[in-house]
Structure 1
Amino acid sequence: MTNETGPVQTVLIAFDTLFNKRDYASAERFWSPRYIQHSAHIPPGREGLFDLVKSLPATLRYENHIAAGSGDFVILHGRFSGHGLPAAWIVADIVRMEDGVLAEHWDVIQDEATGAQSRSGLPMFGDKFPA
């Protein structure tokens, strides 16, 4: 990756390239061939992640709400929708960068709550509840 792009922007571009554009050839530039996956929902390695995305409906969409970085780590708060399950997922993704690429990943995943389900009365993502 170029020096002008910081870690947070690199991860946001990587997620858009893989999950929204489904451009696997370009996405390979963002993920290390030695990528370490800690998610309980995703098979190991870069190939495991890419194969999972390939198996999901074309309606899959990633939207980012918050992105922050510290040192080699980037944390994203986002929504995955269109994956074929009843509720969208609200996800905190934690990525460790190494040599300008995504090298390691952890996540925390929760079904998006409706207005009726939210004890706080506030949406989990953005400023309105899902339809």
Structure 2
Amino acid sequence: MTKTTPEQNKALVLDAFDALFNKRDYAAAARYWSDRYIQHSAHIAPGREGLFNLVRTLPDTLKYENQLIVAEGDYVIAHGRFSGSGRPAAWVAADIVRIEDGKLAEHWDVLQDEATKAQSVSGLPMFGDRFPD
């Protein structure tokens, strides 16, 4: 079993998300995601192929941006934005990933549509320091 540090795990998740969501490099992504990957998201079919197949159906304009990433042991939580998916609003996500043997082994997420300034009761943006255009 490969032992990794929280800093290595954060870098792994960011590299994996960039390879899959931004670069659409499925060969590289397969090196990041375990072939025994467990998917808990209600929006994604099981396994890494379920995730990869979902991404294949999305427009090439899909983009992942990370704002905050924290790690504790083998768990990483990434707060990010998925935009350019063809949906009316970007998704702001908290992705929770468990790392095993240096690969993404398990995933949960919490997703919500990004609010505009007019929709924000708090008056604050959900991602970064600006509201979406």
TM-score class, shorter-chain normalisation, is over 0.9
2:36 to 30, 34, 37: 34
Rounded Cα–Cα distance in structure 2 between residues aligned with 1:38 and 1:27: 18
Three-state SS of the structure 2 residue aligned to 1:93 is strand
1:71 is aligned to 2:73: yes
Aligned: 1:103 with 2:120: no
- Provide the secondary structure at the position in 2 that maps to 1:107: strand
- Give the TM-score taking structure 2 as reference length: 0.95
Aligned residues: 130
Residue of structure 1 in register with 2:84 after alignment: 82
**Offset, 1:87:** 0.3
Secondary structure at the counterpart of residue 77 of structure 2 = strand
Aligned position for 1:59: 61
Percent sequence identity is 69
Please give the alpha-carbon distance, in whole angstroms, between the structure 1 residues aligned to 2:35 and 2:14. 19
State the SS of the aligned residue for 2:31. coil
Equivalence for 2:13: 11
Cα distance, 1:111 vs structure 2: 0.1
Structure 1 stretches (4+) deviating beyond 6 angstroms? none
Secondary structure at 2:125 match in 1: coil
Query: 2-side partners of 1:25 and 1:9: how far apart?
Result: 18
Aligned residue number for residue 119 of structure 2 = 117
- For 1:107 and 1:55, the matched residues in 2 are separated by 19
One-letter amino acid matched to 1:33: D
1:93 corresponds in structure 2 to 95
Which protein, 1 or 2, shows the higher relative CO under an 8 Å CA cutoff with sep ≥ 6?
A: 2
Pairwise CA RMSD: 1.4
Letter in 2 for 1:122: L
Normalising to structure 1: TM-score of the pair? Answer: 0.96
Deviation at 1:25, TM superposition (A): 0.4
